[in-house]
Amino acid sequence: MKILVLNGVNLNLTGLREKGVYGTETLAEINAKIAANCAAHGDEVDFYQSNSEGLLVDKLHEAFLNKLYDGILFNAGAYTHYSYALRDAIAAIDLPVVEVHMSNVQAREEFRHKSVISEVCRGTVCGFGAGSYLAALEGLRYILK
Ligand code: DQA
């Protein structure tokens, strides 16, 4: 399978910001683990991060219109909690999107308890640090088999 790992706002600072919440591994290190896992399974993977909501929407459209991927792992960062534009983009594309969060958003501030994208995602994994991406990848493999 071919998958896209999409990371949204502030995720480029992973490993450098709020280390007690998000850990000390950088996004590049996390992506390297995902790439190694994909290589071991014979899966292809691309990575994209942007702090811009519009560029994330463009990437979702492009993935769908150009039939580039079988599924997408998406950590939208704080956009998760209020971006109807990203929600509509996920709803618009005929591709399974798995919502990913490193932290357990349900155990944090109240504004993080609401995800406006969950309803249009195939599933959600949160709370396992970098392991959330790997667990979401397993979930994607299971449903695409
Ligand atoms: C996050 C959780 C969000 O609430 C937060 O805004 C982030 C990261 C996570 O991976 O735990 O930026 O998506």
Q: How many angstroms does the Cα of residue 126 sit away from the middle of ligand 1?
A: 9
Which of the 8 DSSP states describes residue 12? G
Q: What is the pLDDT of residue 66?
A: 96
Please provide residue 113's backbone torsions phi and psi, each rounded to the nearest 5 degrees. -70, -25
Summarize pLDDT for 27-85 with one digit per residue, the tens.
Answer: 999 999 999 999 999 999 999 999 999 999 999 999 999 999 999 999 999 999 999 99
Q: pTM, whole model, 2 decimals?
A: 0.97
Name the residue of 26, 73, 82, 102 whose CB sits within 8 Å of the most ligand 1 atoms, as the mutation to test its pocket.
102
User: Residue 8 has what DSSP assignment?
Assistant: -
Cβ–Cβ contacts within 10 Å for residue 104, how many?
14
Write down the pLDDT at residue 116: 98
Specify which residues 123 forms β-bridges with: 98
Residue nearest to atom 13 of ligand 1 (CA): 77
Ligand 1 within 6 A of CB of 6: no
Q: Is the CB of 14 under 6 A from ligand 1?
A: no
As a whole number, the mean pLDDT across the chain is: 97
Model confidence band, residue 99 (pLDDT cutoffs 50, 70, 90)? very high
